[in-house]
Structure 1
Amino acid sequence: MPPQRPSPESRQPFALWLTGLPAAGKTTLAGEIAGRLRDLGLSVCMLDGDIMRRGLNADLGFSEAGRDENIRRAAEIAKLLLDSGIIVVTALISPFRAGRMRAREIAGAGRFLEVFVDAPLEVCRQRDPKGLYARAAAGEISDLTGVGSPYQPPLDPELHLRSDRDTPEALADEVIRYLRDQGRL
């Protein structure tokens, strides 16, 4: 007999925390996932790192402390949304393991799902939709994550997705399957 799924009323909202190098495909995948969850009639909010950096976090730089504060603020927003019953899908580089661990603690037990959107650095360089890698190569950016600043890959994410091997649609299918298998949908 298959495990009993929780009723929609008893399901807890969750945060899908997509992390990976710049141009790994986080924002594209987050949008695909958020759309699918909305199609299921669920309340979803997508938090995109680029948008947050232009607004709420415009006062932060790219030092380690600035990056940590960027993640802390995103996690606090995610917690507020989760406490209101809204599912959160984030697309943030989140370069440091300690920052992601702190985000997990802020979101709350059982509500944080780390999703590693993995693509080799060379693939990210080839994609480079914002021209960041080209600017780093030209010496215009010294602290680009994965080039001049470290990216610490997750050691034990809930999901590890290879965005260089599958389409965003196929990866979103995998996420939805995972959420169903875990009884979250």
Structure 2
Amino acid sequence: MIRVLVAEDMHIVRGALVALLGLEADIEVVAEAATGDEVLPAARAARPNVAVIDIDMPGKDGLSAAAELHEFLPECRTLILTSLGSPGTLRRALAAKVGGFLLKDAPADKLANAIRGVAAGRRVVDGELAIAAWDSEDCPLTPREIEVLRLTAAGADPVEIAGQLFLSAGTVRNYLTTIVSKVGAKNRFDAIRIARDADWI
């Protein structure tokens, strides 16, 4: 029997996951968590084989909770569920040593099979997402350009950014022009969208 912890902050979704997994003869849900902060204590109490964790949780996010489990309860493998199927998110999940990464809109039998695979020690990754990650480009921006774009995305104008980064406003504008060109954007707002979609900021 595969013992499973389900961590999902939306009560209806969590209840549906628990009900679906309850139909599987070889899977038993032994614990639930509604926030990222509850994951490790619940796992320590219930000793699941696999923790199914939503990536977007209140408190600690799902990847932080998974990394914490990997550090303090390594015998509990992790499967991340996400509606954010970007290649950058997948790379961050793999860096957090998760056992699996699955989109939330996957069929129920795919979830059960992913849990079985993760419990058996395999890495399970949504196929379409893996191909997208394989084909995706590395971030073309320098660390300083990312910093400028991140501050722009937060609503700061070039003068404010210049003050924070000890640059001239003209230098910040030059950075923004370069960023727009590098990512193939129409303007700085389009550059922010492209960078967010790729998980560069």
Q: TM-score, normalised by structure 2?
A: 0.39
| Higher-RCO chain (CA-CA 8 Å, sequence separation at least 6) | 1
Q: TM-score, normalised by structure 1?
A: 0.42
Structure with the higher helix share, 1 or 2: 2
> Which structure has the greater CA radius of gyration?
2
